[in-house]
Structure 1
């Protein structure tokens, strides 16, 4: 690959792939969050109560955790071009279902299925990792993640306007359907515009599909342990949907779902063992080894960064309103705009975190951003009604910068662990982001906002300690071509 400079204004070679791929991610996030800014008018049209609205919001993320694992497996096996194109095309179908829904049940089913498109992020991590060298991987993944993630903000800003342009009580349906149409069209555009690798490069695939390959018995046990929180989170979501939560699922149905989740866990453990049993109990050559602790620490790092973002963005508008309405007259609209400032930093901070990681080292960047998250949330926990609003917003933006930069720093390292499993690693790390979101929002249901911020800060401290045990990528990772030729891929 060429050593040409990283030029965002270029639309050729690897830069074309980057632009085409972040736009695919952007569209997937517009579709995934197309309901959020229209929820009030949707609720009015279909006569939804508060419990049903909360159910729709929960269902939107319920499928994303397993979907990111599944998509990670598929992208490693079939390549990002086909996987992204198919995901966008299939994702448009439940989007149309949502737009045409005439009842809560139809709306809920469509929203549940749309959670799958939230896994699109994983695909681009593998695509960008194939096209960019190690010295540019951080900023490239940061641009991909930061600019693509802005799709949720774009949905919030554009879809209400689009619904008004279509007009009438049913305008929201046309606005939602239009996002599905864009995804369907772009599925074909993407397929015919990109390739999985640069010309002459090999797309390495896992030897076996269905689970990640590890290289020692200790790592096999570690891998199994790290899958437990994924299934525990699905159980928490089921609990939220049961009679003790929003009361969508009757008691017995919820018990059956809980049982099914843990049966799936046991099946997954069996699959992990099957994939690894033929080699993990035999000595593995040093050049083919990697340490699963690298993946585990990145899981935790993404949990405290993207997980915190998911949770805080959900509660921040109401927090600003409740804190400053009585003393400084902040309205709900103003509170919404102030709360949205947390996600706005994505455009700059996430690429910034990736760039810093490229320039100064992966471990150092993760240490700095987790320390920043710790300090940022400690400061946010002190916000009260006596603070000037502009100071509170400034502290929020500073905290947000470290959160978003942390996301960039995490994915600056993901493609440098084991090339043929980048999709699966990205999927597991991404799923932990959703685990964090569910964990922190569950904590929020039991504590005050101030205590909620302190809990996130406390978790950030433990993650910062864990980061000290991560190994800086150095030298080369080794992959074997189909003819047995060994290829050395530089990682620093």
Structure 2
């Protein structure tokens, strides 16, 4: 798992730290591209005469493809390595930025935004890359830094792109600004490909024995694997329903999409069975087994943490504006504080996990986040605004730290399947966001916060059922050789 002494030299730019910095920058660029439309939406709406429903549809489409893309990219990264797959993803999404920037109709914008949801899958690739280079005792901190710093890409888009658009000026300012993000992605694809390797010198890059689905090691795990995929299709079905509610597709088209999703799920079940026929032909060697419950519990925890984070970030400015009657600009700043805390909390959660144990750290931090949201649900206009902001930032710290803990554990389940496992867990972050935002559209804000708190509390209870990662991991090479990987 890469060599490395006890010291974590963040400011170093050699060896594994070079790989860490180049990889979080790749994630940063992919998020910059993914959210390059958000700060320019009002200008785009005005330029292309879009109605409010069409703008809402663009926001929905931007996250729709990310759910299946994270699963697909997870498979590709396990088979072909993170260096190649990250470079290709940045190249493709860079090209799609040009497609978006040249769009002259709502239909072209919608297709470009849907396809650019693929950029959100970049996160999964770096999880595997970092796990190849850092020892387990530093893995949580390294993955937390990767996630925390990479997430700033969306904030950088919000700050820089409106300035760029104004600098270019004219009706096409937004086109130049979004096009520049495409150039950045394409240039960085080359930098990343040249600058990193998949593993340290002398290390083996373990690949799955079969492609097309996650390998499981028992009949029960096979059933659980089939079940865990259902919410992914449910989230896509829900997104399609939202588009139909905006009257942009007919009910018959919606039924067609739903039928296609059912057929796709059945096709995936067949593929999963073909990958896992071994578990029906006899028991898998005890040494090679891993427990799929680990994947399920971490998926639930990530849906509760990152899912609620995405949902809350989108509604907090309006919450502060309506509750405390503050100006729009100040409400935006107060809402942004929630996301800003994530930059520090993800590495903190990873470090806590490295230091105090994976299972216990995750359970405690989830419990803290659940209590935080229970507190947020009691906020009224009578509260001093400073106390409300402090409660919100405290909740955000527990939430981001718990998310950091999740990805401190993901690479310690099965090395050769890390990309696919990260893909499933990462997809559940988006599923959680879809679920929470749907709940938000039906209930009061206080109820919304209570639903989040209750979901996180369930995840905290489930975390107690996790197994602490073992000191060694068994991998089987393509020639059948069994190799023990030390996890220290």
Asked whether the equivalents of residues 338 and 392 of structure 2 are also in contact (C-alpha less than 8 Å), the reply is yes
TM-aligned CA deviation for residue 222 of structure 1: 0.8
Say if 2:251 is the partner of 1:255.
no
Deviations 1:220-261 (A, max 9, x none): 00111111111111100010011xx21221111111001001
Aligned twin of 2:43: 41
Aligned twin of 1:427: 423
CA distance in structure 2 between the aligned counterparts of 1:77 and 1:380, rounded to whole angstroms: 44
CA distance in structure 1 between the aligned counterparts of 2:186 and 2:419, rounded to whole angstroms: 23
2:459 aligned to which of 460, 463, 475? 463
TM-aligned CA deviation for residue 287 of structure 1: 1.0
Q: For this pair of structures, how many residues does the alignment match?
A: 486
TM-aligned CA deviation for residue 484 of structure 1: 3.8
Asked whether the equivalents of residues 369 and 405 of structure 1 are also in contact (C-alpha less than 8 Å), the reply is yes
Say if 2:380 is the partner of 1:384.
yes
SS in 2 for 1:383: coil
1:68-467 matches, within 5 Å, as 68-242=70-244, 245-325=245-325, 330-467=326-463
Say if 2:476 is the partner of 1:474.
no
Aligned twin of 2:22: 20
* RMSD (Å) for aligned C-alpha atoms: 1.0
Asked whether the equivalents of residues 98 and 182 of structure 2 are also in contact (C-alpha less than 8 Å), the reply is yes
TM normalised by structure 1 equals 0.97
CA distance in structure 1 between the aligned counterparts of 2:63 and 2:261, rounded to whole angstroms: 16
Deviations 1:380-417 (A, max 9, x none): 11111111111111111000001111111000000000
CA distance in structure 2 between the aligned counterparts of 1:311 and 1:148, rounded to whole angstroms: 19
TM-aligned CA deviation for residue 45 of structure 1: 0.7
CA distance in structure 2 between the aligned counterparts of 1:462 and 1:9, rounded to whole angstroms: 38
TM-aligned CA deviation for residue 280 of structure 1: 4.4
SS in 2 for 1:413: helix
SS in 2 for 1:196: coil
TM-aligned CA deviation for residue 475 of structure 1: 2.0
Asked whether the equivalents of residues 148 and 342 of structure 2 are also in contact (C-alpha less than 8 Å), the reply is yes
Flag structure 2 segments of 5+ consecutive residues without an equivalent.
none
CA distance in structure 2 between the aligned counterparts of 1:279 and 1:432, rounded to whole angstroms: 26
CA distance in structure 2 between the aligned counterparts of 1:33 and 1:146, rounded to whole angstroms: 16
CA distance in structure 2 between the aligned counterparts of 1:123 and 1:293, rounded to whole angstroms: 22
Asked whether the equivalents of residues 278 and 284 of structure 2 are also in contact (C-alpha less than 8 Å), the reply is no
Deviations 1:292-350 (A, max 9, x none): 0000000000000100011001111111111111xxxx111111111111110122100
Larger mean CA deviation between 482-491 and 122-131 belongs to 482-491
Flag structure 1 segments of 5+ consecutive residues without an equivalent.
none
CA distance in structure 1 between the aligned counterparts of 2:482 and 2:362, rounded to whole angstroms: 31
CA distance in structure 1 between the aligned counterparts of 2:345 and 2:485, rounded to whole angstroms: 28
TM-aligned CA deviation for residue 483 of structure 1: 4.3
Asked whether the equivalents of residues 98 and 106 of structure 1 are also in contact (C-alpha less than 8 Å), the reply is yes
CA distance in structure 1 between the aligned counterparts of 2:212 and 2:104, rounded to whole angstroms: 38
Asked whether the equivalents of residues 147 and 346 of structure 1 are also in contact (C-alpha less than 8 Å), the reply is no
Deviations 1:112-158 (A, max 9, x none): 00001110000000000111111111000000011001111111111
TM-aligned CA deviation for residue 451 of structure 1: 0.3
The change in CA–CA distance for 1:157 and 1:272 in structure 2 (over 3 A counts) is same
Asked whether the equivalents of residues 307 and 428 of structure 2 are also in contact (C-alpha less than 8 Å), the reply is yes
CA distance in structure 1 between the aligned counterparts of 2:329 and 2:58, rounded to whole angstroms: 22
TM-aligned CA deviation for residue 487 of structure 1: 2.2
CA distance in structure 2 between the aligned counterparts of 1:107 and 1:416, rounded to whole angstroms: 40
Asked whether the equivalents of residues 29 and 153 of structure 2 are also in contact (C-alpha less than 8 Å), the reply is yes
Asked whether the equivalents of residues 35 and 154 of structure 2 are also in contact (C-alpha less than 8 Å), the reply is yes
CA distance in structure 2 between the aligned counterparts of 1:44 and 1:216, rounded to whole angstroms: 56
SS in 1 for 2:276: helix
CA distance in structure 2 between the aligned counterparts of 1:387 and 1:103, rounded to whole angstroms: 46
Asked whether the equivalents of residues 219 and 279 of structure 2 are also in contact (C-alpha less than 8 Å), the reply is no
Aligned twin of 1:488: 484
CA distance in structure 2 between the aligned counterparts of 1:192 and 1:109, rounded to whole angstroms: 31
CA distance in structure 1 between the aligned counterparts of 2:15 and 2:377, rounded to whole angstroms: 46
